[in-house]
Structure 1
């Protein structure tokens, strides 16, 4: 029997039982869609998070108080912080020839009020260099003026959402608002950015770092953002920062320095593992589809016993019978995989349309794996029924036994 005859035989059999064919196709489609959509979610999350960090630039260092390691002692305790990071520490970092600019941060929550309107927002204390370090832009006005780190000027810059909800259609620039128990003059409005590294930039108020320390009654810093002159100087800058802080903190290495590359590498590993786990869970549905194909094919062999006997009586070898049933299973699996791929792509397009900021995308390896596993599972689980059909005795088969 020629290849075209095998294909026509399988196609005719598929068309003869539309309900059975539809159920098998649906099982394969669901499996392929599950694999592709779940891996697309994992890959989209990875791209979104790494994109957020990449937007800060690759020559950025983040200095946090506390050592990220286990120290000696019984029992072992997490690395302690002998002293907090201060504005003097931040100022000292500017002496390094590898550092272009710094942006010390102090973060807290406070109530903004103007007239009868009020709302709770995140307050971020920093300096004029925060804008270029974080790659942000202004919609109106100006950012914090360049000044001494210790100068607590009563000025603030609002996120676009905070400005809209506090002032409505009224002009905001030049207005005096109350943040907590202190008054600040609005001098600028940040351009709409949305979520960035877990912070809603549209819903914050930025004030001078010294003013934030007085507002929250603290002398410590949340962290220090350090922009290095050149990407090639990243390692030297990290060592220089460690040396400066060590000298200021009585020889203690009590800060953690995070590089963008290390963060991106960590997130890539985490999300790759998550994506593979999701793909593995979804692939179970393809195995279930394969088992369904095996069961239905076994029933098909029982129903078509006389047909198999006739083929054998006409000279068909066991190999031809086996290939005929495997071709039928492969045809169903391939058709289901292709339809599942189309449905999954449609789902991805709809997801992009509903959530344009989320980079939903299925990796190529997931698409290839989904189609390959679907077809392989169909052929593998159809092997047992195909072998059973090939072993039928033609005389007994023609007799319907």
Structure 2
């Protein structure tokens, strides 16, 4: 049999049983579509998280209270024990490091904001003027927090855009007085809409000077200190300078954790990348199920086409020709299923992007190639047994059964 004859034989065999062929193609398509959709979802989540952390700034160092004993960066790095608190004095000392350009101390708490009988819960963030530039935010109305001594508790506030809309509507917010908890504050600015970030959105924040926040919540501790190095090349030496300063202030003990943006990005990239490959592997199990279906259906096909196989052998077809013809049929069914699944997978990924615009759910190239390759490999692997059984048929017995 020539290659053209083999291809024609396999194609006619597949088209001769449309229901059987459709079921096999559908099974393979579901497996490939699952791989494409789940990897698109996983890789989209990875790119979203990495992008959110990248928006923190390229030269950022985050100082957290408590020591991460493992020496690495992991999810627990953001929830550490606190043997000794960070203070405003620590933040002021870090600003004196030669390779540091800006610092932003953070004090966080929950309270209520009220104006004109309208009331809502808010998160209050105490910080300083440099926080705006470090986080690369912008002010839509008015101005940001004043540049003043960290210990000065000015009665001013900058509110998020959603809070402005809920409390003031179409009225001007800048210059109005609001009550946050038991403290009266004057609104001096409104943040530009920023949308949802990782765990925090400026649209629903009330930002006040750090000393004001500490007075409101009756504390002298800080939640975090954000430090910006002068440039990217200075990041590592700046981190060492910060460690030396903090160690000197804490009797030679470094009981804080310093995290760089690169470390955070690298860690989350590895974790979410591994999760993406894991869900791809789980989805690939459905391809194995599809392969078993291909094998079972083709074993039935061998029985149904016994006479046809005997006739081919009687006309001179070798066992190798028969085996190759059945493997070609398995390959055609797998390729058809893979292509249909590829289209369904991209359709599903498009639906995810439509439902969640912030999630860049694009299937990675490696996942698409792996899905198509695995589908073809699975079809061929599970097509070997039916092909061998067909090739071993005795032509006389096969024609007798016909």
* TMscore range, shorter length: over 0.9
Aligned to 1:75: none
Give runs of aligned pairs for residues 142-221 of structure 1, distance below 5 A: 142-221=143-222
Distance across 2 between alignment mates of 1:19 and 1:121: 60
Aligned-pair RMSD on alpha carbons? 1.5
Shift of 1:354: 2.4
Give the Cα–Cα distance (whole angstroms) in 2 for the partners of residues 118 and 241 of structure 1: 42
- Partner Cα distance (1:316, 1:82) in 2: 82
Superposition pairs of residues 285-304 of structure 1, within 5 angstroms: 285-304=286-305
Question: What is aligned with 1:22?
Answer: 22
Q: Where does structure 1 lack aligned partners over 5 or more consecutive residues?
A: 72-77
What pairs with 1:1-400 in structure 2 (closer than 5 Å)? Answer: 1-69=1-69, 81-400=82-401
Residues 314, 80 of structure 1: CA spacing in aligned structure 2 closer, same or farther, 3 A cutoff? closer
Give the secondary-structure state (helix, strand or coil) at the position aligned to 1:152: coil
Deviations 1:252-309 (A, max 9, x none): 2111000011111110110111011101100000000000000000000000101111
Range with bigger deviation, 45-54 or 163-172: 163-172
SS at match of 2:401: coil
d(CA) in 2 for partners of 1:380 and 1:137? 58
Give CA deviations for 1:181-208 in whole Å, capped at 9, x if unaligned.
1111111111111222321221111111
Taking structure 2 as the reference length, the TM-score comes to 0.96
Write the deviation string for residues 37-64 of structure 1: whole angstroms up to 9, x where unpaired. Answer: 1111111111001101111222100001
Q: State the distance in 2 between where 1:61 and 1:330 align.
A: 54
Q: CA separation in 2, counterparts of 1:92 and 1:16?
A: 81
Alignment coverage as a number of residue pairs: 395
Normalised to the residue count of structure 1, the TM-score between the two structures is 0.96
C-alpha displacement of 1:172 = 1.1
Distance in 1, Cα, partners of 2:235 & 2:5? 67
- State the Cα deviation string for residues 119-175 of structure 1 (Å, max 9, x = none): 111111000000000111111111001111011111111111111112222221111
**Runs in 1 of length 4+ with deviation above 3 angstroms?**
78-82
1:80–1:254 CA contact under 8 A, matched in 2 = no
Q: Structure 2 regions of 5+ residues with no counterpart?
A: 72-78
